[in-house]
Structure 1
Amino acid sequence: MRSGSAEEPHDSEHREGAPGGAARNPKQKKEKKKSSFWVELPILIVTALVLTVLIQAFLARVYVIPSQSMEQTLHGCTGCNNDRVLVDKVSYRFSDPEPGDVVVFRGPQPWTQDEFKTQESTNPVAGFFQGAASVLGFGAPDEKDFVKRIIAVGGQTVECCDSENHVMVDGKPLNEPYVYWEPGRGVGQDDFAPVTVPPGHLWVMGDNRNDSSDSRVQGGGGVNGAVPVDNVIGKAQVIVLPPTRWQSIPEPNPQSTALGAPAWQGGLPLGVGFAAAFPAVWMGRKLVGSVSKRRQSE
């Protein structure tokens, strides 16, 4: 009896101390999960950054509105929270820019009046982070990037103004409900002679009509103010920041009434990259796990 009773605790201890015993198993799993998280965190961060850069390079990018030239549609006024807009880079691969579209584009060579001057740091480290912030949509935009609304396209003739202060395209006045007159600058816009937009070019103007350096004045005005379609980066679709300004960007066709055409209306933050990174990492883990199990079974 004694020998039996002495052996039972010994057997119990042996079972509890066994490598596969239940007493150590939960602790081992917890430690494994903790170490697995810290191993995967750098992978998750790198994946998010890579996806963010790829998305902003080929699909869409967040841009900061640098000036007040598009008030009140887009806020960029001094002292206010500048809007961040998501610019779609895919739409114009399948369709042409149309009147009413709000577009971001690189200023052509004749355009000398920059909307925004970036104060670049002389410190190489600070300059690197400044450039990275700009790519990810958090920093200042390039000074040669502009945001305006398309008024006329190649082959059309644009001029200002008729007796009621309307811009005209092909001799017909435009219906422009988005135009904003900045207080203190008067209600009216300067006249300019008829300009026939060259093929493959766009005539663009700001919604803040009496405070915008656009096709009317850039490059000395006239044909030099037209923007090549190839310079268009993309179409501004949505205001993504600040949260109080979340909304789509209205893009009514100003020529719809004048020309009888049907009216129509249509930057990723790092969070988008993280959202896409989780399924990518999860799928990677599942793939590695299935390969490991197959090797073990063999």
Structure 2
Amino acid sequence: MTEDISTTRIDGDGRSVNRRKRGALLFLRDLLVIFVVAVLVSFLIKTFLIRSFFIPSESMEMTLVKDDRIIVNQLVPGVTPIERGDVVVFKDPGGWLPARVEPEAPPLAAAIDWFLAFVGLSAPDSNDHLVKRVIGLPGDHVTCCNALGQMSVNGVPLDEPYVVLPAGDTKVSRDDFDQVVPDGSLWVMGDNRYNSKDSRYNADTPLKGFVPIENVVGRAFVVSWPVSHWAWLGNYPETFAGVDEAAEGGD
């Protein structure tokens, strides 16, 4: 009898150990499934909905400060049309950015950066994109500057509260311009008007300073980092009030 009882106890302990091992394996399996699903969801969100970029220059101050991180709505312009005043991220149309050589990163760091970029938590290609404010849509007539130093769109002078100018300057552009935006293109400018290489200063590029709408990655709608800079990014509809009506009247 004693031997039988001892054997039963040993067998019972073995089954208990096996159950614990099986439970641990099931737990690890569930964790792996959750991780894979989270990565796939993040990838889909990054690919089709929103994406993060960092600001590489001072051209949009003080709306955006260098090294700020922004969240971009990628449904613009594919689903939602671009509007005047939108802050947009776009791929270099050609010749806007200087050629640069990517520094070679250690394999581990490169792998981590690739993974973070894959799920949308990093933006290693931010230096290959630009961020500016849309001023002119296809067909718009954009000019600067009137007697008050203002820019006009379709003959309507703009009061631009987002613009940063050097102390003592009231003219919203150092240089005058007079352009009609071609079909399928945009006229974009930085808010830091005297420190922005935007549509005004890319006339010598293949597209003469205009940005194809197809190059737009999306509309920036929030500053996400640092926390102290957190803000929604509006498009100031009051600034562009009457511009559409003026365009229709011109037709």
C-alpha separation in 1, matches of 2:166 and 2:121: 28
Matches within 5 A, 1:68-79: 68-76=58-66
Q: 1:103 to 1:69 in 2, by over 3 A?
A: same
Q: 1:117 to 1:241 in 2, by over 3 A?
A: farther
C-alpha separation in 2, matches of 1:84 and 1:27: 50
| Contact 1:157 1:169 (C-alpha < 8 Å) held by counterparts | yes
Q: 2:87 aligns with which of 92, 102, 124?
A: 102
| Contact 2:93 2:207 (C-alpha < 8 Å) held by counterparts | no
Correspondence 1:93 to 2:78? yes
Amino acid corresponding to residue 74 of structure 1 in structure 2: L
C-alpha separation in 2, matches of 1:173 and 1:96: 23
Encode CA deviations 1:245-281: one digit per residue, 9 max, x unaligned.
33211221331166679xxxxxxxxxxxxxxxxxxxx
Offset, 1:94: 2.9
Q: Structure 1 vs Structure 2: percent identity of aligned residues? A: 31
More helix by share: 1
Greater mean deviation of Cα atoms: 223-232 or 98-107: 223-232
Correspondence 1:155 to 2:130? no
- Report the equivalent of 1:272: none
Correspondence 1:121 to 2:109? no
Matches within 5 A, 1:20-99: 30-76=20-66, 82-99=67-84
Q: Secondary structure, in 3 states, of the residue corresponding to 2:199?
A: coil
Q: 1:218 to 1:51 in 2, by over 3 A?
A: same
Equivalent pairs, count: 243
TM-score (norm 2): 0.80
| Contact 1:89 1:233 (C-alpha < 8 Å) held by counterparts | yes
Offset, 1:142: 4.3
Matches within 5 A, 1:127-276: 127-135=110-118, 136-181=120-165, 188=171, 189-220=173-204, 224-253=208-237, 254-256=239-241
Q: 1:220 to 1:186 in 2, by over 3 A?
A: farther
Q: Secondary structure, in 3 states, of the residue corresponding to 1:143?
A: helix
TM-score (norm 1): 0.68
Q: 1:186 to 1:129 in 2, by over 3 A?
A: farther
Amino acid corresponding to residue 93 of structure 1 in structure 2: G
Encode CA deviations 1:77-126: one digit per residue, 9 max, x unaligned.
xxxxx1111111114223321101111111212x3334x95633176665
| Contact 1:161 1:167 (C-alpha < 8 Å) held by counterparts | yes
Encode CA deviations 1:192-221: one digit per residue, 9 max, x unaligned.
231011111111001111111100001338
| Contact 1:182 1:211 (C-alpha < 8 Å) held by counterparts | no
C-alpha separation in 2, matches of 1:167 and 1:84: 29
Q: Which runs of 5+ in 1 are unaligned?
A: 1-6, 77-81, 262-298
| Contact 1:159 1:193 (C-alpha < 8 Å) held by counterparts | yes
Q: Which runs of 5+ in 2 are unaligned?
A: 247-251
C-alpha separation in 1, matches of 2:114 and 2:185: 30
Greater mean deviation of Cα atoms: 169-178 or 87-96: 87-96
C-alpha separation in 1, matches of 2:149 and 2:205: 19
C-alpha separation in 1, matches of 2:158 and 2:56: 27
Q: 1:165 to 1:29 in 2, by over 3 A?
A: farther
| Contact 2:138 2:184 (C-alpha < 8 Å) held by counterparts | yes
C-alpha separation in 1, matches of 2:68 and 2:131: 12
